[in-house]
Amino acid sequence: MLKITRATDPALAELLDEELSRQEHNIEMIASESTAPLAVMELTGSVFTNKTLEGYPGKRFQAGSHIADKVEQLACERACELFGAEHANIQTYSGSTANYSVFASVLDPGDKILSMRLDQGGHLTHGSPANWMSKVYHYEFYAMDPETEQIDYDALEVQAREYQPKLIIAGASSYSRLIDYERIAKVAKEVGAYFMVDMAHIAGLVAAKIIPSPIPHADFVTSSTTKTFCGARSGMVFCKAEHAQALDKGTFPGAIGSIHLNTMAAKCWSFKYAATDEFRAIMEQVVKNAQCLAEELTSYGFRIVSGGTDNHLMVVDLREKGVTGKAFQDALDAVGITVNKNMIPFDPEKPGVTSGVRIGLTAVSQRGLKEPEIREIAHIMNCVAEAPEDETNLQECKQRAQELIAKFPLYPAGSFDD
């Protein structure tokens, strides 16, 4: 696959080889990651990269669009069927631009948005002061109930009534529980707000009907197409038919320029693949593996935020183990298990240190790992936490991790041979 790069830029080809080897030999458990199927790789690098196109099928700004029009129409039809949506716009480049598309569709500068606290699971583009959206709109944030570490719906309702936002956002980057979309939709309707769900993390589980869908309840549903959806590095937005015109205008020309037709073709393939029994079986195993890991880690004395998980991820409170999120992340990295440090709700530590890590099960489930392997990973994690600075311990853990993952190839043998 890298034949020409190898000949023309050996230094870069070497970095690609190193990254392939890193992914192959490591146990990748970053919750926002998955492994793109080879068809997605193929289509992402396809001849559609060459075509510049703006507008919508039948209303383009450039000629030569009749074939691309068919791809976009097919992709939108498949997307709507897969998710049971009334309208899909799949021109956005990522989950972030999917969110910007919705803001551009229905909000004016200065409008008020109510969204989930970033340090309790929300997303950067939902109003973090570090994100430029915070300069455009006014934000208030809802929080977790300190007891349950789940969304405090009563408080959210009070906030919505007092704040009178124009948009309420649900959806998160590190929230392991199901969200009561119906309840939030009800309060959004009561206060006259639009309701948007960012399902980026859980889109694959929703597509496979493993967990409830936000589509029937929300005005807009945004997503990236990586994460549990296991597709191209891109985005998608769904909405009710009544908002279709606003969404299309808000997306182009409102928020983006020309389409990335190469990733659109890859998304089109994924919308077909996500309807298969094969994909559904992987998604089922993702949740089983996540629940297995949560139970095992609990048995070793780790505390799982909110007590468990209903989806592909969990946030683990490490305080009982006497190790910070950063130290545990680095020690796991040294043994070849990749996770990320993560704030726990009401975390006393700084964001660069944290008291927790976030662990996701999508990529390992795609590789075929099941409960016995997950139990072994939990045991390795516990050994690492017991002595994160002991080099001999880390070496032993690394050997066990490598032996385990070597039995589950990242891609079929020979996939990247030239």
Residue 296 zone, left/alpha/beta (φ > 0; ψ -120 to 50; rest): alpha
Number of residues that bind ligand DSN (CB under 6 A): 4
- Residue with the shortest CB distance to ligand DSN: 32
**Residues of span 45-104 touching ligand DSN by CB under 6 A:** 95
For ligand DSN, give the closer residue by CB, 121 or 193: 121
For ligand DSN, give the closer residue by CB, 173 or 225: 173
From the CB of 315, what's the least distance to ligand DSN, in Å?
12
For ligand DSN, give the closer residue by CB, 117 or 123: 123
**Residues of span 95-114 touching ligand DSN by CB under 6 A:** 95
Among residues 65, 173, 222, 342, the one that binds ligand DSN under rule CB under 6 A: 173
From the CB of 111, what's the least distance to ligand DSN, in Å?
23
For ligand DSN, give the closer residue by CB, 37 or 235: 235
List Cβ neighbours of 312 (8 Å cut-off, separation of 6 or more): 31, 201, 202, 204, 205, 228, 286, 287, 290, 360, 361, 362
For ligand DSN, give the closer residue by CB, 168 or 200: 200
For ligand DSN, give the closer residue by CB, 159 or 355: 355
From the CB of 70, what's the least distance to ligand DSN, in Å?
31
CB 410, CB 369: distance < 8 Å: no
From the CB of 95, what's the least distance to ligand DSN, in Å?
6
Q: Which amino acid appears at position 31 of this protein?
A: A
From the CB of 123, what's the least distance to ligand DSN, in Å?
5
From the CB of 329, what's the least distance to ligand DSN, in Å?
13
From the CB of 301, what's the least distance to ligand DSN, in Å?
26
- The 340-379 contact track toward ligand DSN, x by CB under 6 A, reads ----------------------------------------
From the CB of 103, what's the least distance to ligand DSN, in Å?
17
**Cα Dmax for the chain:** 64
State how far the Cα of 196 lies from the Cα of 185, in Å rounded to an integer: 9
Alpha carbon separation from 93 to 105, 267, 330, 350 (Å, rounded): 16, 11, 31, 31
- The 118-147 contact track toward ligand DSN, x by CB under 6 A, reads -----x------------------------
User: Is residue 32 involved in binding ligand DSN (CB under 6 A)?
Assistant: yes
For ligand DSN, give the closer residue by CB, 166 or 267: 267
For ligand DSN, give the closer residue by CB, 71 or 203: 203
For ligand DSN, give the closer residue by CB, 150 or 173: 173
Q: What are phi and psi of 117, to 5 degrees?
A: -55, 130
Q: What are phi and psi of 243, to 5 degrees?
A: -100, 5
For ligand DSN, give the closer residue by CB, 123 or 166: 123
Q: How far is CA 13 from the centre of its chain?
A: 28
Q: Looking at the DSSP assignment, which residues form a beta bridge with residue 197? A: 170, 221
Binding site for ligand DSN (CB under 6 A): 32, 95, 123, 173
